[in-house]
Amino acid sequence: MKQHLYARSFLFIFGYAIVSALAISIVLSVFVMWLSSNAHASETELPQMRINDAKQGTLLFKRQDNRRQYVSAPTLKTDVSMKITGMLARVTVEQHFTNPTQLWQEGIYVFPLPDDSAVDRLRMKIGERIIEGQIKEKQQARKIYIQAKKQGKKAALIEQQRPNIFTNAVANIGPGETVSITIDYQQRLEYVKDTFSLRFPTVVNPRYTPAATRQLAEVLSNDSPSTFTTGGWLQKTAITASREHVTLDAGHPVSINIELEAGLPLQHINSPYHKIDVMRHNRQHIITLNNKHMPADRDFVLSWQPVLNRAPQAALFTERTDQANYTMLMFMPPQQQASNAVRLSREVVFIIDTSGSMGGASIRQAQKALHWATTQLSPKDSFNIIQFNSSTHKLFKNSVAANQQNLSIAKRYIDNLRAGGGTEMMSALRAALANQSHETASRQVRQVVFLTDGSVSNEHQLFNYIQAHLRNTRLFTVGIGSAPNSFFMKKAAKFGRGTHTHIGDLNEVETNMRALFSSIEKPMLTNIKTQWLAGTTAIEQSDHDALQSYPARISDLYAGRPLVVVARLPDHIDGLRVTGMVGEHPWQRTFTLTGGAAHNGVAKRWAREKIASLMDSLQDGADNTKVRGQVTKTALTHHLVSKYTSLVAVDVTPTRPIESTLQTQRIKTPLPKGSDAKTFLGLPKTATPAELNLLLGLMALLLSLGLWFMSNRTTRRLY
C-alpha cells in the first residue's frame, strides 16, 4: 500500500516535471523567438550587400557569377648584382614576376632604392627577347604604358614616387608566365671614418602622413597612375592616401652578388646584418650571401676598410663624354684636432620618436642609445628629452643641468618609453628648435640628437622648418631600426648642418653612438667655399654655363667625413681651391686637377647631384615650373628616372587576347624586421550557438510530442 503510494506520488511528480518542462520549453522558445524577432524588428527590405573587390587576397570578393574566389598576386623573386669601383657602385636589380593564376595580370611592386640612386636603365625580358626601356617625361611614359596595357602588349613602367621609393608596373603577364624586369642604377659609396659602405634597402616602412598634409598626400596618390587602383574599400576610405601603396608581406627572396674592386688593400669586409661569403679573385673580391637568398625584411649593408694608413685622404675621378668633362673630387678635412683642449659646455636636446612604427626592436635600440648618450654628459652640460608620437612631451620644461638627480629622472623616463600612435614630427622639432633660450651663451654649443626611423611622408615640410629655425643649433639624426627612411635622415642632417648615423642592431648602439658623440663635439671644418681655378685665376660659376659644380652649398664637415664635389668643367679649368675655418683659424687648400682615374659613371653622378640640388632648391622657394623644366631636361639627357621622368618598355606584339580581362594586383612590400605591426590581429569570433540550440531544442520538442502521441495511440489500440 505504502509502496503504491510512493509509486503514485513518484508518477505525479514525474508527470508534473514533464508538463513543466514542456511548458518551460515552449515559453522559452517563444521568448527566444521574440528576442530574435526584436532584433529583426527594424528589418525592412534586405539591401543588396556591397561586396568588395579583393585586395591582396585578404578581402574575400564575390564575382559576378556569385562564386567566392581569392585572387593571388604575381609572386616576385629579386636578384641583385653590384659592381663596385672607386667611389661608385653600379647595381643591377632583376625582378622576376611570376603569375600563378589562370588570369592575365598586371603586377605593381613598390620597392625602395638607395636615396641617391641614379636609375638609368630598364630591360624587360620575355622568354629570350629583351626589350630596352626608354626615358620619357612622366605623363608621356604613363600614356605609353596605359596604351600598351590596353592593347594587350607586355609593358613595364618604372616611376619614382619619392627619392628613395619607386614603383614597377608590369602589364599583361599571362597565366603561368614569368616576366623579368631588370633595373640598373648607380650609387655613391659612403666613406666615413676610413670605412666605405653601401646600403641596399629591401623594405619600405609604412609612412605616416600628418593630418595637415593629407591633401598633399592625396595629390601624391592621384599622381600615381589612376588606372592602377583596384577599387577596394581600403582605397575609398581616406586610408590609401597615406598608404603609399604599401602592402605587407612576410618577404620574398632576394639574392645578392657583389664584385668589389676597392683599388686598395683591404683590412676587412663586413656585413653587419647578413652572413656573407667572400672570395678573392685577383684584384677583386666576390661577395655573396651565405644563405644564397635572404628574406626581404631588412636592409643589406656592406662595409670595407682599407689597411691602416692606406685609407685615402683624397681621390679624383674623371669622365669625358662627347659633350663635356666631368670630375668627382673627394677629400678628407684636416685631421689635426682643433682641440684647444677646453671642451665647451653644451646643451643637448634628445628627441625620441615613440610612434607606432618604432614598436618592437626599434624602440629598444633607441632606449639603449639614449641611456648611453645620457651617460656621456658632463655636469657642465645641460640636457632635455622630448618624445613624440601623436603628441609631443618634454621631460623638463627647459633644459636642465646634467646632474645626478636629473639624470636619474631621465633614466626612469627612458625606461618607461613605449611605442604607439602617429608620427607628429613637426611639433617635436618645434619644441626643440623654436624656443632656443636667450641665455644660451654664445660659447655654448647647442645640439639636437634626433632618434627616429623617419617614417614620415611630409619630409619637405620638415626640411623647411629645420632650415628656417636652425639658428645656432646643429641637428644630428640617428636612424633606428632595420629599415629607416635614409632619405629623410640624410637630408634632415644636411639642413640641420649635422651628421647622420644609423643603428640597425642592438649590438651597434654603443659603437655608433660613441662615433656620433666623438664627432659632434665640434665640426672640423666650417664655412666651406669652393673656387674653381684656371691656372691661378678664379673662375666664377655664374660666368660660365658649362661650369656647374655640386653640392651648391657645402655644409660643415665633421671628423672622419669627406667632402665630395662633382662638377662639369670647361676644358681650361685645372684647379680647385677649398677654403674654410678650422676652429677660429682660416684654412685653405688647392687641388690640381691633373691625373685622376678615368671612371665611367661620373657624368651620371653629376646629373644625379644636379637633380638633387635642383629638388633641394624647391625648399628655398625656387620656381616650381622652372625646376621641373630643368630637372626634366637633365634627366632626359642622362637617361635618368626622376620625379618628372620615368622609364617605360613596351613589347611590339600584343600577347593578351582582347577578350580576356586584366586583373591588377599589388605585390606586397615586406615589413621591416622586428616591427610590431607584423603581428596579426584578427577579428574575434562573434556567433553564439543560440540559434543552433533553439533549432535543436525545437526539433527535440516536436519529436518528443510526436512520440508521446504515438505511444498514446499504441496504448489505446492495445486496450
Q: List the interface residues with another protein, window 432-471 (CB under 8 A).
A: none
3-state secondary structure 473-526: EEEEEEEECCCCCHHHHHHHHHHCCCCEEEECCHHHHHHHHHHHHHHHCCCCEE
Q: Of 7, 130, 211, 314, which lies in the binding site for another protein, with binding defined by CB under 8 A?
A: 211
Q: Are 486 and 199 in contact (CB under 8 A)?
A: yes
Span interacting with another protein, options 19-27, 193-201, 558-566, 590-598, rule CB under 8 A: 19-27
Closer residue to another protein, CB minimum distance, 272 or 421: 421
- Rounded CA gap, 309 and 267, in Å? 11
Please select the residue that binds another protein; options are 6, 12, 16, 31, rule is CB under 8 A: 31
Contact predicate 497/469, CB 8 Å: no
**How many residues lie near another protein (CB under 8 A)?**
90
Is the Cβ of residue 108 or residue 631 nearer to another protein in the bound state? 108
Among 2, 4, 5, 39, binds another protein (CB under 8 A): 39
For residues 171-210, which are near another protein according to CB under 8 A? 206, 208-210
Q: What are the b/e assignments for 309-324, b being 16+ CB within 10 Å?
A: eebbeebbbbbeeeeb
Task: Give residues 378-437 in contact with another protein (rule: CB under 8 A).
Answer: 390, 421-424
Q: Is 127 exposed, middle or buried (0-12, 13-18, 19+ CB in 10 A)?
A: exposed
- Between CA 608 and CA 526 the distance in angstroms is 25
| Strand ranges in 165-275 using DSSP code E only, listed in sequence order | 165-173, 178-188, 190-192, 195-200, 248-249, 253-261, 266-270
* Binding flags for another protein, 614-643, as an x/- string (CB under 8 A): ------------------------------
The bridge status of strand 195-200 relative to strand 190-192 is: antiparallel
C-alpha cell at 476: 644630428
Q: C-beta of 41: minimal distance to another protein in Å?
A: 8
Nearest distance from C-beta of residue 34 to another protein, angstroms: 9
Using CB under 8 A, pick the residue from 1, 43, 279, 658 that binds another protein.
Answer: 43
What phi and psi, each to the nearest 5 degrees, are found at residue 19?
Answer: -65, -45
Beta strands 134-137 and 645-654, pairing class: antiparallel
Cα separation values, 706 from 615, 701, 712, 717, Å: 86, 8, 10, 17
Q: Which position has the grid cell 586584366? A: 662
**Cell numbers at 611, concatenated:** 637633380
Which residues between 658 and 697 bind another protein (CB under 8 A)? 677-697
Minimum distance, C-beta of residue 19 to another protein, in the bound complex (Å): 10
Tell me the C-alpha distance between 548 and 15, whole Å. 107
Our CB check for another protein shows the closer of 218 and 259 to be: 218
Strands 68-69 and 75-85, how do they pair?
Answer: unpaired
Rounded to a whole number of angstroms, the minimum distance from the CB of residue 33 to another protein is 9
Q: Of 147 and 712, which CB lies nearer to another protein in the complex structure?
A: 712
Using the rule CB under 8 A, is 705 a contact of another protein? yes
Is position 546 an interface residue for another protein (rule: CB under 8 A)?
Answer: no
Candidate residues 7, 60, 130, 434; the one interacting with another protein per rule CB under 8 A: 60
Q: Binding mask 231-250 vs another protein (x if CB under 8 A, - otherwise)?
A: --xx-xxxxxxxx---xx--
Of 93, 244, 105, 77, residue with least CA distance to 165: 244
Residue 701 sits in the site that holds another protein (CB under 8 A): yes
Nearest of 175, 207, 235 to residue 54 by alpha carbon: 235
Residue among 372, 387, 391 nearest 432 (CA): 387
Q: Which residue, 574 or 676, has its beta carbon nearer to another protein?
A: 676
Q: Are strands 575-582 and 585-592 parallel, antiparallel or unpaired?
A: antiparallel
Tell me which amino acid residue 14 is: F
Q: How far is the CB of 163 from another protein (least distance, A)?
A: 22
Taking CA atoms, 481 is separated from 30, 205, 363, 484, 502, in Å, by 61, 10, 8, 6, 8
Place of cell 665630395: 564
Site for another protein in 248-277 (CB under 8 A): 248
- Site string (95-114) toward another protein, x via CB under 8 A: --------------------
Write down the least CB distance from residue 219 to another protein, Å.
Answer: 14
| 3, 38, 542, 625: which one binds another protein (CB under 8 A) | 38
Question: Can residue 51 be called a binding residue for another protein (CB under 8 A)?
Answer: yes
Q: Which of residues 317-376 bind another protein (CB under 8 A)?
A: 356
Our CB check for another protein shows the closer of 49 and 342 to be: 49
Report, in Å, the least distance between residue 268 CB and another protein: 39
Give the three cell numbers for residue 415: 625606461
- The correct pick among 1, 2, 3, 50 for binding another protein (CB under 8 A) is 50
Q: How far is CA 32 from CA 36, 42, 44, in A?
A: 6, 17, 21
Interacting residue with another protein among 36, 290, 337, 437 (CB under 8 A)? 36
Of the pair 546, 703, the CB lying nearest another protein is at 703
Of 7, 11, 28, 468, the residue at the interface with another protein (CB under 8 A) is: 28
Q: What is the nearest approach in angstroms of another protein to the Cβ of residue 457?
A: 10
**Beta carbon nearer to another protein, 318 or 423:** 423
